[in-house]
Amino acid sequence: MPSNASHPPRHAPCPTDLTIRPASLGDISALLPLIDALVPQIRDRLQLDTATLIDIIAAPNPWAHVLVAECGGHLIGYTALVGGLQLRAEDRSMELHHIYVDPAYRKHGIGRRLMRAARATAEQLGCGQLTVGIAHKSESAKAAYRAFGFERHAPRAPRYVMDLAEAS
């Protein structure tokens, strides 16, 4: 459990002291600032609050899985996975919805360790694919995902979205 919700001290990453684990309720106050730091970069409309994050982490059969990277008692990164299913193909998949590492700790393999943990989680849940969508034209994100082992596939079909808050 992280020792506090403040940002970790700015020093060299701790590869031997790094732990990747499922998020717990005790992580929420330290996890929300990490999520907030990523949202502007990915142009996500997500507005996550404490109550929603508690529901995601504490759900008995969660449809989302959050893994955290902890170093010296401080959260320095996370990944969020969301389950998917293609009924006709009977194919479970897991969408890599977020991956984030505090900028002070980047370029030290923490993202790779989070990605390996995300893959292991998807495999343990019986998924046949781990997918990721890139909504903008970030060449660095595309290169990172290719380095992680993702391959670009042609889109299956145009995607339509229904905003359920407005579709009454």
Residues 6+ apart with CB under 8 A from 9: 72, 74
The runs of H, that is alpha helices, within the chain are 28-42, 50-58, 110-124, 139-148
Domain assignment of residue 9, yes or no: no
Name the residue range of residue 128's domain: 18-148
pLDDT at 1: 47
| Total domains, the chain | 1
CATH number at residue 98: 3.40.630.30
Angstrom CA distances, 163 to 78, 95, 168, stand at 27, 20, 10
Q: What is the pLDDT of residues 55-70, one digit of tens each?
A: 777 877 777 899 999 9
Q: What is the pLDDT of residues 130-164, one digit of tens each?
A: 888 776 667 887 888 888 888 877 665 555 555 55
Whole-model pTM: value is 0.79
Mean pLDDT across the chain, nearest whole number?
78
Domain assignment of residue 12, yes or no: no
- CA-CA distance, 89 to 86, in Å (whole number)? 6
Say what angle helices 28-42 and 50-58 make with each other, to 10 degrees.
110
